[in-house]
Chains A and B, each alone.
Chain A
Amino acid sequence: MDGPVDPALLSQVTDAALGAARSGGASHATVRVERVRTQVVVLRDGRLETAIDDTEVGTGVQVLSSGSFGFAGSVAVGAQPAAALARQALEAAAVTAPARSRPVELADEPAHGRVEWTSPYRRDPVEVPLGDKVGLLEEWSRRLLAAPGVDHVTAYVMAVREDKYLADLQGTVALQRRVRVHPQLEALSIAPDGDFEELRTLAPPVARGWEYLEGDGWDFDDELARLPELLAEKLRAPSVEAGTYDLVIDPTNLWLTIHESIGHATELDRAMGYEAAFAGTSFATPDGLGTLRYGSPVMHVVGDRTTEHGLATVAIDDEGVAAQSFDIVRDGVLTGYQLDRAIAASQGIARSNGCAFADSPLHVPIQRMANVSLQPAPGEGPSTDDLVSGVDRGIYIVGDKSWSIDMQRYNFQFTGQRFYAVRDGRLAGQLRDVAYQATTTDFWGSMEAVGGTGTYLLGGAFNCGKGQPEQVAAVSHGCPSVLVRAVRVLNTRQESGR
């Protein structure tokens, strides 16, 4: 398979970097060479506004020397620069060693030899000509702009191809390619008095090729056809009465609640305080492992770096650990964490479950999120309509929008794209100005039912941030529709004092 650079050059870089690290006294060393091509195309009202085509190429070397980590990265790729990076990483490890209160140790991982892996795709999205991308977004924009009540349309697609090479002193050599796309259209409708509402497509970002925009995995034609009427109804909808409601939450909204209140909360580096300076910590501390009641008994959550079309799916992580699937919450109880090798070793855990990732060859790998997914009900399970039928007074929430959660992952607030009043078990038209607010364990503890596999959808994001300097990772979250009882709902217009 194609690598980030010529194979002969990769071999020279590996020998130079790992040789310099070994001769400099490193007990462990990893070299990565990456080529990450990122494209963004934005059309405003059918006309091209932004076209980005950016390729990042570079080398990163991490060493462990006398119990101290050191890292150096550069956009230069070659034997000499790689050896120089290894020496700089050793020097960094030495400079910071006096301020390390305890030596870094790594959980064991067997050498995996040579591994080659490519995420499944049929048409490489970054090789699709700009004109074709613009042409499709123009056509989609035209359809929306032709509909009554649509005043403006923003069309967007982001495409990434990530070629990553890794070699370490243990003998693992991994060559991996990951491809992902995220198309999105947003329509804006403005009332005569200046009031306005926006509505965007629900199609999630996925680890697929351009074929996704051609209908493989999502029906864009259907979604675009329905969007203008849904937007018109939203602009006419009454403002919600703040209070306590039963919520039926669609997977297009729930994936983000999972991401924030489960995904980040069960990263062991956070739970141990290693992200306390910026991203934050977690209420789900290790003393609760096996006993913390995270949610109701219908709650089963799995971390998985092997999910088909998952944005965090790999074969080998950025510390040379093989991808795995593992329980995080089982029967509502905390049963596991996401790990990297150093954090695992610090807790006496024998093996990392493969959650190390660096978003750039110039960044050090840190523990990042697996595809963390809520499992559907066994068997056929309830449909979304079945869940709605069990609600006397509630709201059905579709699509994600605003999100915020505190630094220990207790208190969160989310909005959405569409909100439907539920009365006596039936949908009763859209509402506006809805936000739901809860404490994580209260919310998941009030989850009465999860939908069946027919409601299950893999959502996700390209822009999960963590670490200092901040790194961005793409991650997917699958989930069914769910029914959650007695959740606080705010009226956002009232919250702003109007």
Chain B
Amino acid sequence: MSAAGLPSPADLAERLLGAATRPCIAIVEDTHEADVRFANNTVTTDGVRADRRVTVVLVDAPDAPGAPGRAGIARRSGDVDVDALVREAAAATAPAEDAAPLVEGDADEGFGDDAVLTGLDRLAPVVGGLAGAFRRAEAAGAVLSGFVEHSVTTTYLASSSGLRRRHVQPTGALQLVGRRDGASAWAGVGGAEVGDGELGSLEEAVRRGLGWSARHVDVPPGRHEVILPPSAVADLMMFLAEAASGRDAEDGRTVFSRPGGGTRVGEQLTPLPFDLWSDPEEAGLECAPFLATSISTADVSVFDNGLPLGRTPWLAAGRLGRLRYHRAGAGRSGAPAAAPIDNLALALPGASGSVDDLVAATERGLLLTCLWYIREVDPKTLLLTGLTRDGVYVVEDGKVVGAAGNFRFNESPLDVLARATQVSSTVRTYGREGGSWMNRTAMPALRVPDWNMSSPSQAV
């Protein structure tokens, strides 16, 4: 039994396979979560949740990727009626453009183990310290807001091919925002756990930012030299990775489309030899080493469930290395299959130093804290718009001398990489806007000499 009083997830997966009259993939995902939200120096909401999502995929799988096949998918939460769910999948069966043979494989040791739980006790290092943090903030004339969460998703994937995979994905995050005298500062951290001491280190980072904001410096909009910290780089690179659809590029609708047809794979996109990759075994960013998906899209296929995942170089030494393809699409296009992976890392080989080192090497520029409300404006160039948030610090002669107001920017992440002139070493980071969607990122800080601040924002 699971914590929610539901049947064993592994047993449920086996029963679903047993009830199917055609080749079948069963996915059971048990998620337990706990979170606490706070604002205005007080807790506002909290919650604990126990979720179960069950997916059945009935397939007529061909012998080769891309050959005719069919799939029927049904997805339910909670205590499912096995026979009813299989009947629903059968009723939803339709021809599939993404058909491919079922992924073969063995059974993971421990496939039958129960799902892993979490609860509010895992947040104790933070929740227990909040009252003190609120008191310290009030004494300093500041107001704290933030969010702390921990979840564990245990995924069970079983296939008629004999494949049995199980993966445990713990995910934690803590974010802290301080506001004082018309200024704000942010710090955030992601990881597998929310650890001891993280609240204190984030408090210190927020205090530093608010201290820098004590002196206001007027800076007009226009093109400025900026230092993007890893969090801001993470939020930009998520858009770059999301745009890396092979089918969309072949259709001619993305920045990775080659004029006249085809894709830009192999083209040198950045003068600096950046590597942008996803890898389930990346240290500190570990995630599921196999594909588990309940939907098919232009480049992800339910037929590929269980596909082993490995290091995937989206950019390799500045060249476009891979675009996402399911096996059927890859076969049609003569490209390697590349499935989505739940982490993202960017690095410049040989780069060293930190954000502080980039600041120290700056004659005059702006140190950003993070970016916000980033949206695509033009897919041709992957032009994005968004705002700076929680501190735009003015750097002169290697030191922060004050803070400017916020700005709206218009920039393409691809152009940002192409124009970067200095790069720090890569560190674990958490995207201010996108971290809740992709927690596991590692990025460097970047210096961009001519960042487009399109207009001022009065917002704090």
Contact = CB atoms under 8 A, between A and B. Distances in A.
Most A Cβ at <10 Å: residue of B147, B380, B411? B380
| Contact-residue bracket for chain B | 35 or more
A405 interface: yes
B382 to A, nearest CB: 9
Most B Cβ at <10 Å: residue of A195, A411, A439? A411
A139 interface: no
B251 A152 contact: yes
Given A76-B6, A152-B253, A411 B78 contact: no
Contacts of A51: 73, 92, 94, 296
Contacts of B74: 53
B5 A364 contact: no
Contact of A408 (B98, B143, B459): B459
Contacts of A134: 94
A99 B260 contact: no
Interface in B119-171: 120, 127, 130-131, 134, 143, 145-147, 149
B87 to A, nearest CB: 12
Interface residues of A, number: 95
Interface stretch (B43-51, B279-287, B349-357): B43-51
Interface string B231-270: 0000000000000000100011100011110000000000
Interface string A173-195: 00000000000000010101111
A95 interface: yes
Contact of B92 (A130, A193, A198, A278): A130
Given A57-B77, A76-B6, A275-B39, A71 B373 contact: no
A463 interface: no
Interface stretch (A224-232, A451-459, A487-495): A487-495
B5 A76 contact: yes
A148 to B, nearest CB: 17
Contacts of B217: none
Interface string B178-204: 010000100000000000000000000
B360 interface: no
Contacts of B88: 53
A52 B295 contact: yes
A58 interface: yes
Nearest to A433: B378
A364 B47 CA distance: 7
A151 B252 contact: yes
B424 interface: no
Contact of A273 (B33, B145, B147): B145
Interface string B389-429: 10000000000000000101011100100000000000000
Contacts of B44: 69, 274
A486 B38 CA distance: 41
Interface in B37-59: 37-52
B377 A402 contact: yes
Interface string A360-383: 001110100000000000000000
A306 interface: no
Contact of A49 (B4, B33, B297): B297
A92 B120 contact: yes
A50 interface: yes
B459 A188 contact: no
A484 B5 CA distance: 58
A497 B452 CA distance: 9
Contacts, number: 281
B46 A50 contact: no
Contacts of A439: 458
A494 B224 CA distance: 16
B385 interface: yes
Nearest to B251: A152
B47 A73 contact: yes
A98 to B, nearest CB: 5
Nearest to B55: A54
Given A48-B95, A406-B387, A469-B436, A75 B51 contact: yes
Contacts of A411: 387, 408, 455-459
A470 B149 CA distance: 12
B377 A96 contact: no
Interface in A466-498: 467-470, 488, 490, 492-493, 495-498
Interface in A397-413: 402-411, 413
A190 B248 CA distance: 13
Nearest to A278: B147
A196 interface: yes
B179 A194 contact: no
B117 interface: no
Interface in A37-95: 42, 44, 47-58, 68-78, 80-81, 84, 88, 91-93, 95
A141 B362 CA distance: 54
Interface string B71-92: 0011111110000000010011
Given A48-B95, A51-B94, A74 B39 contact: no
A435 B408 CA distance: 13
A276 interface: yes
B459 A194 contact: no
Interface of B: 4-6, 33, 35-52, 73-79, 88, 91-92, 94-98, 120, 127, 130-131, 134, 143, 145-147, 149, 175-177, 179, 184, 247, 251-253, 257-260, 294-298, 372-381, 383, 385-387, 389, 406, 408, 410-412, 415, 436, 452, 454-460
10 contacts: A49-B296, A75-B77, A130-B92, A273-B40, A273-B145, A281-B460, A408-B457, A410-B459, A470-B436, A496-B383
Given A56-B77, A408-B457, 10 more contacts: A57-B77, A70-B46, A71-B46, A99-B42, A276-B143, A403-B375, A406-B408, A408-B460, A437-B454, A470-B436
For the complex of A and B, 7 pairs with smallest distance between CB atoms:
A194-B259, A75-B78, A408-B459, A277-B145, A101-B42, A406-B459, A99-B130
